[in-house]
Amino acid sequence: MADTLSVVTWNINSVRLRLDQVLRFLTEQQPDVLCLQETKCPNDLFPKGAFEKAGYRHQAIMGMKGYNGVAILSRRPLEPLSAREMCGKPDARHIAARIGEGAGAVTLHNFYVPAGGDIPDPEANPKFAHKLDFVKELQVFSEEARRTEPRAILVGDLNIAPLEHDVWSHKKLLDIVSHTPIETNGLMDVIAAGEWGDAMRLLKPEPEKVYSWWSYRSPDWETRDLGRRLDHVWLGRDLVGGLQSGRIFRETRGWERPSDHVPVRIDLEID
């Protein structure tokens, strides 16, 4: 019998503030693994007990006070792996874990790419420069993963909508951080370097519009639908063939006090 693994990625924008929403989602959907970004919580204050009670006893967390932070929560046993310091900064933007053993093991990497501020000029905006440096380093990481981890999954809030139909208006957003050509070309180079399979686009090819984020600034997000696809699940070359299905949980954006991101789920055979 085939072994199927379900993985969800979600930028929760404060795990303690939105703990009820996360627990509701886990109760309703029961994925095998949940990867969170922007937990905004140091490790000693992470609500481990609440997730253990919900059945997610296996945890790998990397947090800090007030911002950033990533976590992997699993119903399956996992082996936490070393977190990577990107751009030489210990700012809790990566965590990794291994699920399974031997040749059938799957390595899971959870990234939170810097947003980059509002000005798409690396000379005028240090935050944007940091984002571009991060993406370049992510390309190096992907080249390594392609050689050594063909059964890897990379997930996270990558803060870039790389394709034309990953945003509500390609032309209007070309000068907006998250969809500028230097960012989108950079992320496509990362995908190529790792020979990653972009799971949601394998399931929903262009020109279908696919979004995972709607700004808090939009007074009527649902009707206006000014979305972007910032949250991604990528599969290593030995896992792409097992991809079965995927779903973006748009409805969670309408929950009380929501994150501006919504969960993205994939299900795949890992035998």
Mean model confidence pLDDT for the chain: 97
Predicted local confidence at residue 219, as pLDDT? 83
The secondary structure of 193-231 as a DSSP string is HHT-EEHHHHHS-TTS---SEE-TT-TTHHHH--EE--E
Mean pLDDT of 131-160: 98
The answer to whether the beta carbons of residues 234 and 197 sit under 8 Å apart is yes
Taking only the tens place, the pLDDT of each residue in 88-97 is 999 999 999 9
Predicted local confidence at residue 29, as pLDDT? 98
Mean pLDDT of 221-227: 97
In angstroms, the CA 89 to CA 12 distance is 22
The residue to which tokens 């977190």 are assigned: 83
In angstroms, the CA 130 to CA 146 distance is 24
pLDDT over threshold 80, residue 213: yes
Q: State in Å, rounded, how far the first CA of the chain is from the last one.
A: 9
Report which of 74, 96, 76, 94 is spatially closest to residue 85, judged by C-alpha positions. Answer: 94
Predicted local confidence at residue 218, as pLDDT? 86
The answer to whether the beta carbons of residues 72 and 78 sit under 8 Å apart is yes
Predicted local confidence at residue 1, as pLDDT? 67
Model pTM score: 0.98
Share above pLDDT 90 across residues of the chain, in percent, rounded to a whole number: 97
Structure-block tokens of residue 218: 């939009």
DSSP state of 100: S
Predicted local confidence at residue 52, as pLDDT? 98
Predicted local confidence at residue 271, as pLDDT? 82
CATH superfamily of 4-269: Endonuclease/exonuclease/phosphatase (3.60.10.10)
The beta-carbon contacts of 119-125 under 8 Å, at least 24 apart in sequence, are 119/177, 120/175, 120/176, 120/177, 120/180, 120/182, 120/183
Structural domain boundaries of the chain? 4-269
